[in-house]
Amino acid sequence: MTDPLLALRPWEAPEVTSWGRLPMNTVDRRAGALSLDGPWRFQLLPAPDAPVGAVWSSTRVPGAWTMQDTDDLPQYTNIRMPYTEFPPRSPADNPTGVYEREVEVPAEWSGRRIVLQVGAAESVLLVHVDGRPVGLSKDSHLAAEFDLTGVVRAGQRAAVRLTVVKWSDASHIEDQDQWWHGGITRSVLLYATDPLHLADVAVRARRDGELRVDCRVRDAAGALPGGWYVTGELDGLPLAQDTALDRAHEEDGRVSDFLGEVRLRTVVRAVRPWSAETPELYGLTVRLHRADGTVSDTARYRVGFRDVEVVGRDLLVNGERVFVRGVNRHDFHPLTGRTVSPEDMRADLVLLKRFGFNAIRTAHYPNDPALYDLADELGLYVVDEADIESHDHAHEIADDPRYLNAFVDRVSRMVLRDKNHPCVIVWSLGNESDYGAHHDAAAGWVRRHDPTRPVQYEGAAKRGWADPDVASDIACPMYAPLEDCLAHALSGRQTKPLIQCEYSHAMGNSNGTLADHWAAIEATPGLQGGFIWEFWDHGILQRVSDGRPAGRGGAGLYDNGVTAPGHRWAYGGDFGEPYHDGAFVADGVVFPDRTPKPVLYEHRELAAPVRLRCFRHEGLVLANHQHFRGLEWLAAEWELSLADGGTLTAPAELPALRPGETAVVPLPFELPADGGEAWLTLRVTTAEDLPWAPRGTEVCAPQLRLRAAVPAKEEPAVAAAVEVDGDGLLVHPLLTAAPTLSLWRAPTDNDELGGIATRWRSWGLDALVRRPLSVHRDGVSVTVVAEYAGPTGVVRHRQVLTPVEGGLRIDEEAELPEEFDDVARVGSVFETVAGLDLLEWFGQGPWESYPDRSAGAPVGHHSLPVDALFTPYLRPQESGGRHGVRRFTLTAPDATGLAVTLDEPRQVSVTRYRAEDLTAVAHHDELVPRDGCVVHLDAAHRGLGTASCGPDTFVSYLVAPGVHRWSWTLRVL
């Protein structure tokens, strides 16, 4: 007998989106359910129609089989499909997982409705129970439910088989920038309800306190029994039934024997509105009663009262124009792939809150349901995105009628699942799928079903940001140049909010010009923020010995972004896949173990709720940059950093300011009269324990310069003659490599993918040949002139070495030819003896910073071990730099070492690696640190930009041709 599920061949039938699957709804059935998570019998077949064998292995559910020691390993592609078949076809070699286990159906479920829920399966799910076909589902990131009431019997065992087909027609619209996996990636459960049950509950809670609850009631037996009714209460206060709705049903003929509808209402006086800053939640309970008053079903919700609307070119939350400080987030874990626990999701959101983010875009599919509960609780706005991306074949699919049902099905099921979450403020129709009739159809359904939220879709931008007749209420482009955004906002033609769905690409050492973007956003009406791409570096923990994922047994094998010996963070190509896109999957603001990258400190400062605006004679201007609350939840301390006098602290009392208000506060210190450089920092922390931060967690550290530096003059001193070798290179007891000119850096991901490094190599910047021209002694000074030659240009370098009190001053000049119009750096590089392991400096820090990413590194006195200065981006590259350094010491444990004073704030890096060391390897486990330190002192250093995906850095952060001058003093401690 032919299996009707296999007869449909759903892996190549785009018109088939489901069979036997129950409608999506908001009623959470996790409480009281029977969890089927854990070990299942498992076979991995070569194709969906291959026969099931007699030999079974074991696998864990939830979990991708690609992460559990099968021969089908993870594969990463960005745009390209991992096979050549054109939609809707799938390859003949199509891994198919067969999962089986027995389930003891509880005896007390006799007479009840029994439902199987599979949280997520990639990409086609076929369900059989006791050999009988039950149903099928597509849509890899939403749950599928199946009614087993007529298939299983209470008190007896049932054999459940879940067959998951990896590739299908649906894969062509799940072509997202992430690892390809296969398997059951979210929890599986079995639950029971009374035959008379709540089929759906829709909650609408407005910021004025008006609450409306629409309930739909069904009975598994068919016709509804007489006398049933629904009650509700909000934090113990009863809701009233809206009798007008019942009368309307009678008048318009919508009364049904099989579907009941009830509307409950109330108005909450003195309501506490929900927002990302003030995530106030109320407890709602809805009960369905039989005629005798007994309860047949119950649903519980946490309700947030808030309004979202687009008015003109502003997105308003509770009537306020809010800045959207967002990040894109995948469901990801380095040990389990797509399976993420609630504890891990909480850790994700807690970290985002601590670093100033207030919004998430669920790129590019609905996330695990637990994430929305957490966003409601912790306070994060969510752009909820449907599981649609057809990147490789976007144009063909957008208007292909075979895929129309799939688009509308995926968008509508997302809305039906998540509509009661106050955190969801925008519905997104998907990502990078061109723009066609399917998007208009899906948008029409959403606007009819849920008029309380705007709809967005990036692909509609092809019709223009201002076009009012597209399926997007928000202009949400990707990586639009800032000048284009400003021009649009100032053009007079803007018709809707401009909030970029992706605007700063965090691949490797990146996110340059973030501060410039936010300065423009905060100053320009019509610009309202955007979402950084993305949260995670998607590095999978890999055992180097066999090239396989470390899997669940890998816990404890990584820390602070670094893996233990024998393991590494794998990216595209590391699992032997023939088609891949390399390290492009490593583009997050955190490492795979959730260690923050330096950019997070930059973002935290740009999102600071408290700002120091300026220093006037009467005091400091302090501002509250929040939208909805005062400063009472914060505490603070003043910190005065003196270039020549250490650091002073004093308690700070924050003024009572409403959102947007400013106040003048007195200067907390009397400045010393010595005239040295002075910086005032306000260390702002949480004043009490919060769900996302314990008391004392630093929130921001705004800073003002109170006094500029006075240039110091150093007179030549009578000392031992400067020693140079025959090529004019300095000979020094603490240096193993003399100071030479450097124009090269180990290319960042932005340098490589943006094509910048290709130009540098064509100029020979990675292998310039030094040719000494002259060595001249003039009294105690030595002047060395040399040329650094490449295939296309010559740089003339002049170095003057002069003894000064206690050391040596080095004055340098480099003249870059016109063809070197954009080099990586201009500066000096030298290497030290071993044993100098501690860097102490006055300048920006303590974390890594660069010319176009330095707003989050306050000026002060900082100290770190040399090994802690390096940032282990997944692909080794330029890292570890500190911007604005005035002076530093490199010392051994006995306090001996060297000291460097710079003529003005400069870019400095101290690591264990030469640029060629970093460029020569693909992973950090291949790097061999040097015993000494490699020190760069840069007169100018190129900005980072985001050119791997998006605009490069601004012209103001480029290193131009012409003459560059710098000087520094080297002393022995």
Q: Is 471 helix (H, G, I), strand (E, B) or coil?
A: coil
Catalytic residue among 12, 122, 385, 502: 502
- Distance separating alpha carbons of residues 942 and 958, to the nearest angstrom: 5
Cα angle: 390, vertex 947, 959; to 5 degrees? 175
Comparing C-alpha atoms, which of 86, 176, 15 is closest to residue 393? 86
Residue 170: DSSP 8-state: G
Positive or negative, the CA dihedral 216, 218, 223, 224 is negative
Please tell me the chain's helix, strand, coil percentages from 3-state DSSP, rounded to the nearest 5: 15, 40, 45
CB atoms within 10 A of CB 666: 8
Residues 470-504 as b/e (b if ≥16 CB within 10 A, e otherwise) read bbbbbbbbbbbebeebbebbeeeebebbbbbbbbb
Catalytic member of 432, 458, 812, 848: 432
Is 502 part of the annotated catalytic residue set? Answer: yes
Tokens 């009650």 appear where? 231
Tell me the C-alpha distance between 728 and 719, whole Å: 19
> 95, 123 in Cβ contact below 8 A?
no
Element (H, E) at 303: strand 295-303
Q: Are 550 and 543 in contact (CB under 8 A)?
A: yes
CA distances from 198 to 26, 55, 418, 594, 763 (A): 10, 43, 16, 40, 70
Q: Which uninterrupted H or E stretch holds 759? A: helix 756-763
Answer left, alpha or beta for residue 3, where phi above 0 means left and psi between -120 and 50 means alpha.
Answer: beta
How far apart (Å, rounded) are the C-alpha atoms in residues 175 and 173?
Answer: 6
Beta carbons of 709 and 619 less than 8 angstroms apart: no
* CA nearest neighbour of 257 among 296, 294, 219: 219
User: CA 289 → CA 137, 296, 900, distances in Å?
Assistant: 32, 6, 79
**Helices H, strands E: what count in the chain?**
13, 58
Inter-axis angle of helices 369-378 and 342-354, to 10 degrees?
40
Q: What is the DSSP string of 550-600?
A: -GGGGTTSEETTEEPTTEEEE-TTTT--SS--GGGGB--SB-TT-PBPHHH
Rounded alpha-carbon distances, angstroms, from residue 536 to 374, 587, 589, 595, 596: 18, 7, 6, 10, 10
Whole-number Å distance between alpha carbons of 521 and 529: 6
Instruction: Please say if 432 is a catalytic residue.
Output: yes
Nearest-angstrom CA–CA distance, 665 and 211: 43
DSSP H helices in 637-695: none
- How far apart CA 353 and CA 380 sit, in angstroms, is 8
* Residues labelled as active-site residues: 432, 502
